[in-house]
Amino acid sequence: MISEEKRLAIKASLKATRDKRKHQRCRVFELKITGNKMSRNARNHFSRLFLEAKWFYNHVLGQKDVFNVDTKIKTVMVKTGEVFEERSLVCLSSQMKQALAKRIQSNIKGLATKKKKGVKVGRLKFKRSFGAVPLKQYDVTYSFTNSGHRLKLQKMKGSLRIRGYDQLPPCAELANAVLVKRASGYYLKVTVYVTENSTVKSPRSPSIGIDGGIKHQFAFSNGVLVDYRVPVSQCRSLRKKYRRFSRKKKGSRNRTKALAKLLKEFEHLSNSKRDITNKLCAFLNQEYRVISFQKENLSAWQRLYGKKMLDTALGSFYTAVKERTDEPVEVKRFFPSTQFCSAGGCDHRQKMERSERVYRCPVCGLVLDRDINAARNIEREGLRMIANDNDSIPANDSDDVHHLGTERAEITPVEITSSTLAQRMVAYFNTIPRVSARRVVETGSP
C-alpha cells in the first residue's frame, strides 16, 4: 500500500507536470537503430522482446477483467496448437507490461465511446504478430548515452547504435517512446516536449484554401494545382514480389523471407507518400497562418475510385495539416464548395456534373478551373467560421481580425499568375520527387 504522504507527493508532481505541459508543444521524432552494427545477442533480445510483448498482450485480452491485471507476473500461458504452454517473460519489464495493459484499456474505452455515439464497433482481437513496444519513462525503460549516439534499453545488456538523435531540439524534455519493428529494421519513436517560443513570428500570408481530388490531388486557392502519384497499384517490383510470395509453400522459411521482401517494398512506397506529405505540410505551415480544407468522405472515395486512392495520401495529408499547422480550419463535409461562384460579391450557385472541369458563372462571367474555384470557396468559408468564432482568434492578433473577415478582394487568374508566393510555391513543390505543380496561366485552364 502507498502511504498517504507518498500519494500526495505523486499527486502534486502530476499537477506540476500538467501545468508545465500547458506551455509546451508535443513533438515526435523517429530514430533509426543501426541494424548492421547489432550483435547477435542484441538481435536475439529484440526478437524475444517483441515475442513476449505479443504473449503478454494476448494474455491481457484473455482475462475476464482487463482493468485489473497483474503486470508483475513472470510467466503467461501461450496457446500452441490446441494446448496451452507456460512461457516465461525474460525481456519484458514491468513498466513495459504496464504500458501494454494501459494501451488495451485505452482502446477499450475508445471503442465504448464510439459505441455510445451509435457507431458499430467490434472487439479487440488476439495478435499473431507484434510490432510496437511502448517504453513508458525516459531514463528508466530507455536512455541515451555517448552524446545521444547509443541507446540503452531496460533489461538489455550493452547499448545500441542509433541515428537521428541530432534532429531532437537541444532544450527538449524527453518523455515516453515506442520501439517499432518494421520490415526495414527497428526504429525508436521518441516523444518530446518543447517550450513554445513567445517571440513574434515573421509576417505570413494569412490564409489559403485547399481542395482535394483524384484528377488533381490538391488545388489551392492561390491558383496552384498539385499532382502526384506513388504507383502502389501499378508497381512492377511489387507485383513481382507478390508472385514470388504466392508460389512459396505455406509455413516454409522461404515464404517468410518472401513476405519480408514484400513488406519492405510496401514500406518504401509508404515512405515516399509520407515524404511528400511532410514537405507539402511544412511549406504551408511556414508561409500561411490559416489553412482551410474540407472534411472529405475518403472511404466513399475508395469505393468509387478504387485503386486510384492507393496511389495518393489524402487522408494522411489532412491529418498532418490538422496536427502540425498553427490554425487549421476544417469546413463541413456537405458544404457545396463546387457549386458557388468564388468571384467577390457574386452569390450565384449552380450544380455541376462530375465531368465538368471548368466553372462558368452566367451572372458575373467568371470562368475558372473547377478545383481552384472550390478551393477559394473553402478558404472563404474557413475565414467566415473564424470570424464567427471569437475564441479561435488570438488576442494579440487584433490587427489581423479585419483582414480575416468574410469579405476579400477578388483575385483574378492574372493576379494569381504574377503572385511571387505562388511562384515560389510551384518552384518548391516541383523539387519534391513524384510531384508536379503548376499555376493557372489563363482563364479557366491550367
For residue 407, the model assigns a pLDDT of: 39
CA angle in degrees (0–180, nearest 5) for 268-272-275 = 130
Kind of pairing, strands 288-294 and 205-212?
parallel
Distance of CA 149 to the CA centre of its chain: 26
What is the predicted pLDDT for the residue at 364? Answer: 84
| 132-135/142-145 β-pairing | unpaired
Q: For the beta carbon of residue 213, count every other beta carbon within 10 angstroms.
A: 20
Within 62-169, residue ranges assigned H as helices are: 94-116
Name residue, grid cell 468571384.
Answer: 343
Do 382 and 292 meet the contact criterion of CB atoms below 8 Å apart? yes
Give SS3 for 192. strand
Spatial contact of 435 and 226, defined as CB atoms under 8 Å apart:
yes
HSE-CB at 392 with a 13 A cutoff on CA atoms is 16
DSSP category for residue 305: H
Q: What distance in Å separates the CA atoms of residue 147 and residue 237, rounded to the nearest whole number?
A: 40
In this prediction, residue 392 carries a pLDDT of 42
Q: Which residues contact 18 (CB under 8 A, 6 or more apart)?
A: none
* Residue 64, all three cell numbers: 475476464
433-437-438 Cα angle (round to 5): 155
Find out whether 375 and 221 touch, Cβ atoms under 8 Å.
Answer: yes
CB-CB contact of 211 with 368 (8 Å) = no
Taking Cα atoms as reference points, which of 346, 331, 345 lies closest to residue 385?
331
pLDDT at site 205: 65
Residue 311's pLDDT is 79
Q: Any idea how long the chain is?
A: 446
Question: Given this model, what pLDDT does residue 439 score?
Answer: 86
> What string of pLDDT tens digits covers the 446 residues of the chain?
678 888 888 888 888 888 888 888 888 899 999 988 788 999 999 999 999 999 999 999 999 899 999 889 999 999 888 888 999 999 999 999 999 999 999 999 999 999 999 988 888 999 988 999 999 989 999 999 988 889 999 999 889 999 999 989 888 889 999 999 998 889 999 999 988 764 444 556 688 999 988 888 888 988 899 988 887 766 788 888 889 999 999 889 999 899 988 988 888 888 888 999 999 999 998 888 889 998 887 777 777 777 777 778 888 888 889 888 888 888 888 888 888 888 877 778 888 888 888 888 888 888 888 888 899 999 988 888 888 774 444 433 333 333 333 333 333 333 443 468 888 899 999 999 888 888 875 454 44
Residues 6+ away with beta carbon under 8 Å from 1: none
